[in-house]
Structure 1
């Protein structure tokens, strides 16, 4: 009986390792529709959660990856602080702050998408000032 339990446990552990290898992240196009929507969602959440009164906008996509066989996207973004407040309409066309107010951040976001419901969930975010 103990052998059967041990064998079953070993098979479960090996199966989980094979499963995790199969579902690693791979590069995806920065123009992929759900990646773009996930990126917009991540930037929106960053602006909402940030205590800064000014909005940040995308400067550069440093990494765009998707988890195989899922709708989870990993993105590494560089963003800059704008002169617009975060609840203004057109942040994309808002100029960046210059001089003492100039600030850039680099963030890594992990976003899960339920495409049939157009629902986005921020699983993780890590940001550092540049």
Structure 2
């Protein structure tokens, strides 16, 4: 005669203490931060500082400002104010550009945004953006790989 064993799933699972759960969450947070820091370190290790006046770099910054304005819901144009950091990847035509832009009185489709005055008072806005951009200047091809912007 065969006996059938019945396996029952218990609805009671071993309970972990709140302290154990908090410790596990803390370690997950530490691990996440460590991975981000290592990623930034790895990224910045591959990039080297370059001259902001380099022709290819200047064309890339011009494209970034155009790209930013095209992707804004704002009717006003933003113009380039300053480059905070300019890096290039050693083996590829990649630029890491950290720049500031300001909101102008001109519309984003106006011709001469560079000579347009910045807004003052309640309409005044500045943004700081970091872009990673792949550039093939000789065929005028720019590809934004990553971007982050924040109002300052």
Unpaired runs of 5+ in structure 2? 1-41
TM-score, normalization by structure 2: 0.69
- Which structure has the higher relative contact order (CA within 8 Å, separation 6+)? 1
Q: Report what 1:85 is aligned to.
A: 107
Match of 1:106 among 119, 128, 150: 128
Taking the TM superposition and a 5 Å limit, the aligned residue runs for 1:41-60 are 41-60=63-82
- Indicate whether 1:120 and 2:142 are aligned: yes
Q: Report what 1:94 is aligned to.
A: 116
Q: How far apart are the structure 2 equivalents of 1:121 and 1:43? A: 13
Deviation at 1:115, TM superposition (A): 3.1
Cα deviation digits, residues 77-124 of structure 1 (max 9, x gap): 011000000000000000000000000000001110123322111111
Cα deviation digits, residues 16-46 of structure 1 (max 9, x gap): xxxx78x700000001111111110011000
- Indicate whether 1:38 and 2:60 are aligned: yes
CA RMSD of aligned residues (A): 1.4
Q: How far apart are the structure 1 equivalents of 2:68 and 2:92? A: 23
SS in 2 for 1:116: helix
More strand by share: 1
Unpaired runs of 5+ in structure 1? 1-19
Q: Report what 2:50 is aligned to.
A: 28
SS in 2 for 1:95: coil
